[in-house]
Amino acid sequence: MLASTPPAKSVEIVEVSVRDGLQSDPAMASTATKVELIERLLAAGIKRLEAVSYVNPKRVPQMADAEAVMAGVPRPEDVTYIGLVLNRRGFDRALATGVDEINTVVVASETFSQRNQAMSTADAAGVWHDIAGHAAGAGIGTSVTVSAAFGCPFEAALPLERLVEVVDMVMASPPDELALADTIGVAVPTDVYERVAAVAQRLEGTGTTLRCHFHNTRNTGIANVAAAVEAGVRVIDASAGGIGGCPFAPAATGNIATEDVVYLLERMGYSTGIDLGALIETASWMEAALGHGVPSMLSKAGAWPPAAG
Ligand code: ZN
């Protein structure tokens, strides 16, 4: 009799420490530090990572070395490098540098969109539609992050109807993946169940997968990951060490830590393909390289059971 094993549940981690993390880190990491961090993440089993940003270097000096970083990293075939682009100029730089995938951002709240990107939500969706056409021609992967998807720092509530409206704006040119970001870290698991279900319904049949990006600003980030995967999301953003956040959102600190997420998911029965022990070592290395502590819990407590880490 053939053994019938159910298909393993797996979750893909998109590692964001090198871009989202270091972008707002006080340490101003050098190109060599970024490349070494990427090498360590790949050695830990990370297969997809946000590595660089092609935004105006005057606005985000920490990310000015995108070309040098991409020239310095190993390029195994099964590893996907993502570059953040916010306009056509950034997209052209991304193409010239040879990243595998571009990510762009559409802010769900009108006020935050104006403050963060100096344009309306509809105009940001328009930028995406323009980039989408060129990306299709270039054969490059695409993802769009809908930020402030769970709440806005300036408008308080971000109604579910508004989120769905913005998702529909984006989906006029369906990206390979759409990410819901809790940019200011206000969501709780009930919000996640509600919003993931509503957005998943809009993506049904389009081929666009759904991903979530949580911040731990109010200590709900890890609970939100649990809710998202239980609601069917299979791609989660996380930042090694838990470094970073958004420099343009007031007090929005606290990306969720990759090691904390990996521990949670593996213990819940989801495989991530990531070596927790190697991640914990990477967190200690980061503390030395950046000259400050990192907020992850697993890097302090260690894995459990002890043999696992
Ligand atoms: Zn983040």
Confidence of residue 307 (pLDDT cuts 50, 70, 90): low
Residue 38 resides in a domain: yes
> What pLDDT was estimated at residue 5?
56
> pLDDT tens digits for 100-110?
999 999 999 99
Sign of the C-alpha dihedral computed for residues 37, 89, 14 and 156 taken in this order: positive
Residue 3 resides in a domain: no
> What pLDDT was estimated at residue 4?
54
- Span 20-29, average pLDDT: 88
Which residues, including other chains, have CB under 8 Å from residue 224's CB and lie 6 or more apart? 182, 187, 188, 189, 191, 192, 212, 214
- AA letter at 91: F
- Span 30-55, average pLDDT: 97
| Cα 20 to averaged position of ligand 1 atoms, centre (Å) | 6
| Total tally of structural domains belonging to the chain | 1
Residue 2 resides in a domain: no
Place of tokens 């050695």: 43
Comparing 19-23, 165-169, 216-220, 242-246, which segment has the lowest mean pLDDT? 242-246
> pLDDT tens digits for 191-213?
999 999 999 999 999 999 999 99
Residue 59 resides in a domain: yes
CA–CA gap between residue 52 and residue 64 (Å, rounded) = 9
Check pLDDT > 60 for residue 7: no
> What pLDDT was estimated at residue 267?
96
Comparing 168-182, 226-240, 289-303, which segment has the lowest mean pLDDT? 289-303
> What pLDDT was estimated at residue 1?
44
Residue 106: beta bridge partners? Answer: 146
Contacts from 303-307 at CB under 8 Å and sequence distance 24+? 303/263, 303/276, 303/277
Give the active site residue among 69, 124, 246, 290.
246
Range of the domain at 25: 12-301
| Cα 289 to averaged position of ligand 1 atoms, centre (Å) | 21
| Cα 6 to averaged position of ligand 1 atoms, centre (Å) | 33
The answer to whether 46 and 13 have CB atoms below 8 angstroms apart is: yes
Residue 309 resides in a domain: no
Which residues, including other chains, have CB under 8 Å from residue 104's CB and lie 6 or more apart? 84, 85, 86, 127, 128, 131, 142, 143, 144, 145
> pLDDT tens digits for 213-234?
999 989 999 999 999 999 999 9
pTM flag (> 0.75): yes
Check pLDDT > 80 for residue 308: no
> What pLDDT was estimated at residue 178?
98
Residue 4 resides in a domain: no
- Span 136-140, average pLDDT: 93
> pLDDT tens digits for 242-272?
998 655 555 446 899 999 999 999 999 999 9
For the chain, what percent of residues have pLDDT higher than 90?
83
Check pLDDT > 90 for residue 47: yes
| Cα 5 to averaged position of ligand 1 atoms, centre (Å) | 36
CA–CA gap between residue 214 and residue 266 (Å, rounded) = 18
Residue 41 resides in a domain: yes
Residue 144: beta bridge partners? Answer: 104, 178
| Cα 216 to averaged position of ligand 1 atoms, centre (Å) | 9
CATH, residue 199? 3.20.20.70
The answer to whether 111 and 151 have CB atoms below 8 angstroms apart is: no
Residue 110 resides in a domain: yes
Residue 105 token pair: 């951002």
Active site annotation includes 246:
yes
> What pLDDT was estimated at residue 233?
98
| Cα 182 to averaged position of ligand 1 atoms, centre (Å) | 8
> pLDDT tens digits for 87-131?
999 999 999 999 999 999 999 999 999 998 899 999 999 999 999
